[in-house]
């Protein structure tokens, strides 16, 4: 994934499990840009992980 502002490749900072703290999202991923310093947070919707789990059971 590239930076929104300068298009440099972002550095993955880590994933946080926020399932118990957040109503709508299960994983928070943070990324940062080494070139311009932009910080990006990505939230994965719970509905997505729930669908994944259903697929795995079948």
Which residues here bind Zn ion, judged by CB under 5 A?
A: 3, 5-6, 8, 33, 35-36, 38
Q: Report DSSP letters for the chain, one per residue.
A: -B-TTT-PBPEEEEEEE-TTT-SSEEEEEEEE-TTT--EEEEEEEHHHHHHHHHHHH-
* Residue 31 beta carbon to Zn ion: minimum distance, rounded to whole angstroms: 10
* Residue 12 beta carbon to Zn ion: minimum distance, rounded to whole angstroms: 14
Residue 26 or 38 having the CB closest to Zn ion: 38
* Residue 40 beta carbon to Zn ion: minimum distance, rounded to whole angstroms: 9
């Amino acid at each position: 994934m590239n930076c929104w502002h300068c298009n440099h490749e972002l550095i993955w900072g880590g994933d946080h499990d926020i399932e118990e703290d957040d109503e709508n999202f299960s994983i928070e991923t943070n990324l940062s840009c080494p070139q311009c310093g932009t910080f990006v947070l990505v939230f994965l919707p719970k509905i997505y992980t729930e669908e994944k789990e259903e697929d795995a059971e079948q």
